[in-house]
Chain A
Protein backbone atom coordinates (compact mmCIF):
# COMPACT_ATOMS: atom_id res chain seq x y z
CA UNK A 1 0.00 0.00 0.00
CA UNK A 2 1.25 3.46 -0.89
CA UNK A 3 1.09 5.91 2.02
CA UNK A 4 1.82 9.63 1.53
CA UNK A 5 2.51 12.29 4.18
CA UNK A 6 2.23 16.07 4.15
CA UNK A 7 3.29 19.13 6.15
CA UNK A 8 4.70 18.46 9.62
CA UNK A 9 3.80 14.75 9.41
CA UNK A 10 6.08 14.51 6.38
CA UNK A 11 8.80 16.42 8.25
CA UNK A 12 8.57 14.37 11.46
CA UNK A 13 8.65 11.08 9.56
CA UNK A 14 11.24 12.48 7.18
CA UNK A 15 9.51 10.93 4.19
CA UNK A 16 7.01 12.04 1.58
CA UNK A 17 5.75 8.53 0.89
CA UNK A 18 6.41 4.87 1.45
CA UNK A 19 5.15 1.48 0.33
CA UNK A 20 4.06 -0.78 3.16
CA UNK A 21 2.70 -4.30 3.46
CA UNK A 22 -0.26 -4.00 5.77
CA UNK A 23 -1.27 -7.10 7.75
CA UNK A 24 -4.73 -8.46 6.93
CA UNK A 25 -5.97 -7.39 10.38
CA UNK A 26 -5.60 -3.72 9.38
CA UNK A 27 -9.04 -2.83 8.02
CA UNK A 28 -9.64 0.86 8.74
CA UNK A 29 -7.73 4.15 8.66
CA UNK A 30 -7.66 3.99 12.47
CA UNK A 31 -6.07 0.54 12.23
CA UNK A 32 -3.44 1.90 9.83
CA UNK A 33 -2.54 4.61 12.31
CA UNK A 34 -2.25 2.12 15.19
CA UNK A 35 -0.13 -0.16 13.05
CA UNK A 36 2.14 2.74 11.93
CA UNK A 37 2.66 3.74 15.57
CA UNK A 38 4.26 0.35 16.24
CA UNK A 39 6.88 0.98 13.55
CA UNK A 40 9.13 3.26 15.56
CA UNK A 41 9.35 6.23 17.90
CA UNK A 42 9.04 8.84 15.12
CA UNK A 43 5.70 7.27 14.08
CA UNK A 44 4.48 7.01 17.67
CA UNK A 45 5.26 10.69 18.19
CA UNK A 46 3.92 11.92 14.84
CA UNK A 47 0.59 10.11 15.30
CA UNK A 48 0.36 10.74 19.05
CA UNK A 49 -2.58 13.19 18.89
CA UNK A 50 -5.39 11.80 16.67
CA UNK A 51 -7.19 15.19 16.77
CA UNK A 52 -4.61 16.76 14.50
CA UNK A 53 -4.45 13.93 11.97
CA UNK A 54 -6.56 13.96 8.83
CA UNK A 55 -6.69 11.16 6.27
CA UNK A 56 -7.62 10.57 2.67
CA UNK A 57 -8.14 7.39 0.65
CA UNK A 58 -7.55 7.76 -3.08
CA UNK A 59 -7.49 11.56 -2.63
CA UNK A 60 -10.84 11.77 -0.87
CA UNK A 61 -11.27 12.83 2.76
CA UNK A 62 -12.20 9.96 5.08
CA UNK A 63 -12.70 9.43 8.80
CA UNK A 64 -10.77 7.07 11.06
CA UNK A 65 -13.55 4.47 10.74
CA UNK A 66 -13.26 4.31 6.94
CA UNK A 67 -12.42 0.86 5.51
CA UNK A 68 -9.26 0.76 3.45
CA UNK A 69 -10.45 -2.04 1.16
CA UNK A 70 -9.93 -0.88 -2.44
CA UNK A 71 -7.47 1.85 -1.48
CA UNK A 72 -4.53 2.42 -3.77
CA UNK A 73 -3.21 5.48 -1.94
CA UNK A 74 -3.67 6.50 1.69
CA UNK A 75 -2.66 10.00 2.81
CA UNK A 76 -2.09 11.41 6.28
CA UNK A 77 -1.78 15.13 6.98
CA UNK A 78 -2.58 17.81 9.59
CA UNK A 79 -5.75 19.96 9.40
CA UNK A 80 -5.68 22.07 6.23
CA UNK A 81 -4.44 25.65 6.40
CA UNK A 82 -4.72 26.82 2.80
CA UNK A 83 -6.42 29.86 1.36
Chain B
Protein backbone atom coordinates (compact mmCIF):
# COMPACT_ATOMS: atom_id res chain seq x y z
CA UNK B 1 0.00 0.00 0.00
CA UNK B 2 2.26 2.64 1.34
CA UNK B 3 5.89 2.37 0.45
CA UNK B 4 8.45 4.91 1.40
CA UNK B 5 11.41 5.39 -0.85
CA UNK B 6 14.52 6.79 0.73
CA UNK B 7 16.33 9.65 -0.91
CA UNK B 8 19.35 8.23 -2.60
CA UNK B 9 20.74 11.45 -4.01
CA UNK B 10 22.32 11.49 -7.42
CA UNK B 11 23.01 7.93 -8.48
CA UNK B 12 26.74 7.28 -8.75
CA UNK B 13 27.92 5.18 -11.64
CA UNK B 14 26.31 1.84 -10.95
CA UNK B 15 28.80 -0.65 -9.57
CA UNK B 16 27.99 -4.25 -10.47
CA UNK B 17 29.76 -6.70 -8.21
CA UNK B 18 31.02 -10.05 -9.45
CA UNK B 19 30.36 -12.98 -7.18
CA UNK B 20 32.06 -16.33 -7.53
CA UNK B 21 29.56 -19.00 -6.51
CA UNK B 22 30.62 -22.56 -5.76
CA UNK B 23 27.55 -24.80 -5.85
CA UNK B 24 27.31 -28.47 -5.05
CA UNK B 25 25.97 -30.63 -7.84
CA UNK B 26 23.07 -32.13 -5.91
CA UNK B 27 21.34 -29.32 -4.11
CA UNK B 28 22.24 -25.74 -4.84
CA UNK B 29 23.18 -26.26 -8.49
CA UNK B 30 19.80 -27.92 -8.98
CA UNK B 31 18.09 -25.11 -7.08
CA UNK B 32 19.61 -22.73 -9.62
CA UNK B 33 18.32 -24.97 -12.41
CA UNK B 34 14.87 -24.93 -10.83
CA UNK B 35 14.97 -21.14 -10.51
CA UNK B 36 15.62 -21.18 -14.25
CA UNK B 37 12.82 -23.53 -15.18
CA UNK B 38 10.53 -21.51 -12.87
CA UNK B 39 11.67 -18.33 -14.67
CA UNK B 40 12.43 -16.58 -11.41
CA UNK B 41 14.34 -13.38 -11.89
CA UNK B 42 17.38 -12.49 -9.81
CA UNK B 43 20.49 -10.32 -9.87
CA UNK B 44 22.95 -11.36 -12.60
CA UNK B 45 26.08 -10.95 -10.50
CA UNK B 46 27.00 -14.51 -9.58
CA UNK B 47 29.07 -16.84 -11.72
CA UNK B 48 28.43 -20.44 -10.78
CA UNK B 49 31.23 -22.98 -10.60
CA UNK B 50 29.91 -26.50 -10.15
CA UNK B 51 31.57 -28.99 -7.81
CA UNK B 52 30.22 -32.41 -6.86
CA UNK B 53 30.01 -31.56 -3.16
CA UNK B 54 30.49 -28.46 -1.03
CA UNK B 55 33.10 -30.59 0.76
CA UNK B 56 35.23 -30.28 -2.35
CA UNK B 57 35.64 -26.55 -1.84
CA UNK B 58 39.20 -25.83 -0.87
CA UNK B 59 39.74 -22.56 1.04
CA UNK B 60 42.29 -21.81 -1.64
CA UNK B 61 39.44 -21.51 -4.14
CA UNK B 62 37.98 -18.75 -2.01
CA UNK B 63 41.23 -16.88 -1.53
CA UNK B 64 41.99 -17.29 -5.20
CA UNK B 65 38.62 -15.87 -6.18
CA UNK B 66 39.14 -12.78 -4.04
CA UNK B 67 42.68 -12.46 -5.34
CA UNK B 68 41.39 -12.58 -8.89
CA UNK B 69 38.97 -9.78 -8.28
CA UNK B 70 35.75 -11.32 -6.97
CA UNK B 71 33.69 -8.90 -4.91
CA UNK B 72 32.09 -11.78 -3.07
CA UNK B 73 32.18 -15.54 -2.76
CA UNK B 74 29.13 -17.69 -2.19
CA UNK B 75 29.21 -21.35 -1.27
CA UNK B 76 26.01 -23.33 -1.73
CA UNK B 77 25.52 -26.81 -0.32
CA UNK B 78 22.86 -29.23 0.83
CA UNK B 79 21.20 -28.74 4.21
CA UNK B 80 22.86 -30.47 7.15
CA UNK B 81 21.87 -34.13 7.07
CA UNK B 82 21.05 -33.99 3.36
CA UNK B 83 24.51 -34.35 1.85
CA UNK B 84 24.62 -36.69 -1.11
CA UNK B 85 27.92 -37.90 0.29
CA UNK B 86 26.65 -38.14 3.84
CA UNK B 87 28.67 -35.37 5.47
CA UNK B 88 30.65 -33.34 2.96
CA UNK B 89 28.64 -30.27 3.85
CA UNK B 90 29.78 -30.50 7.46
CA UNK B 91 33.35 -30.44 6.20
CA UNK B 92 32.44 -27.44 4.10
CA UNK B 93 31.02 -25.71 7.16
CA UNK B 94 34.17 -26.33 9.15
CA UNK B 95 36.36 -25.00 6.38
CA UNK B 96 34.03 -22.08 5.87
CA UNK B 97 34.45 -21.03 9.49
CA UNK B 98 38.22 -21.24 9.27
CA UNK B 99 38.30 -19.37 5.98
CA UNK B 100 35.97 -16.75 7.38
CA UNK B 101 38.31 -16.14 10.30
CA UNK B 102 41.24 -15.59 7.96
CA UNK B 103 39.18 -13.30 5.73
CA UNK B 104 37.99 -11.33 8.76
CA UNK B 105 41.59 -10.83 9.79
CA UNK B 106 42.37 -9.63 6.29
CA UNK B 107 39.60 -7.07 6.54
CA UNK B 108 37.14 -8.70 4.15
CA UNK B 109 33.64 -7.62 5.15
CA UNK B 110 31.49 -10.52 6.37
CA UNK B 111 28.83 -9.88 3.71
CA UNK B 112 31.32 -10.77 1.01
CA UNK B 113 31.68 -14.41 1.98
CA UNK B 114 28.67 -16.59 2.62
CA UNK B 115 27.79 -20.22 3.02
CA UNK B 116 24.17 -21.08 2.35
CA UNK B 117 22.30 -24.35 2.56
CA UNK B 118 19.92 -24.40 -0.39
CA UNK B 119 18.16 -27.60 -1.31
CA UNK B 120 17.19 -28.55 -4.84
CA UNK B 121 13.62 -27.41 -4.16
CA UNK B 122 14.50 -24.02 -2.72
CA UNK B 123 14.72 -21.99 -5.89
CA UNK B 124 13.03 -19.07 -4.15
CA UNK B 125 15.66 -19.14 -1.46
CA UNK B 126 18.37 -19.18 -4.08
CA UNK B 127 16.82 -16.15 -5.72
CA UNK B 128 16.60 -14.32 -2.40
CA UNK B 129 20.21 -15.09 -1.48
CA UNK B 130 21.42 -14.00 -4.90
CA UNK B 131 19.51 -10.73 -4.67
CA UNK B 132 20.41 -10.05 -1.09
CA UNK B 133 24.09 -10.72 -1.53
CA UNK B 134 24.30 -8.64 -4.68
CA UNK B 135 22.56 -5.73 -2.96
CA UNK B 136 24.72 -5.95 0.15
CA UNK B 137 27.95 -6.03 -1.83
CA UNK B 138 26.73 -3.27 -4.07
CA UNK B 139 26.29 -1.17 -0.95
CA UNK B 140 29.79 -2.06 0.25
CA UNK B 141 31.38 -1.15 -3.05
CA UNK B 142 34.06 -3.05 -4.95
CA UNK B 143 36.43 -5.34 -3.09
CA UNK B 144 40.04 -4.66 -3.61
CA UNK B 145 41.94 -7.73 -2.69
CA UNK B 146 43.06 -8.68 -6.13
CA UNK B 147 46.67 -9.46 -6.83
CA UNK B 148 48.09 -9.96 -10.30
CA UNK B 149 47.01 -13.31 -11.64
CA UNK B 150 50.42 -14.83 -12.25
CA UNK B 151 51.65 -14.33 -8.69
CA UNK B 152 49.05 -16.68 -7.31
CA UNK B 153 49.83 -20.36 -7.06
CA UNK B 154 47.93 -23.00 -8.91
CA UNK B 155 46.84 -20.90 -11.84
CA UNK B 156 49.58 -21.73 -14.26
CA UNK B 157 47.85 -23.83 -16.86
CA UNK B 158 51.12 -24.64 -18.56
CA UNK B 159 50.29 -22.53 -21.55
CA UNK B 160 52.70 -20.32 -23.31
CA UNK B 161 52.92 -16.82 -21.90
CA UNK B 162 51.35 -15.03 -24.82
CA UNK B 163 48.22 -17.12 -24.72
CA UNK B 164 47.93 -16.51 -21.01
CA UNK B 165 48.28 -12.77 -21.43
CA UNK B 166 45.66 -12.81 -24.10
CA UNK B 167 43.28 -14.44 -21.70
CA UNK B 168 44.01 -12.05 -18.89
CA UNK B 169 43.75 -8.87 -20.85
Do A and B come from the same complex?
Answer: no
**Could you list which residues of chain A lie within 8 angstroms of chain B, going by C-beta atoms?**
none
**Could you list which residues of chain B lie within 8 angstroms of chain A, going by C-beta atoms?**
none
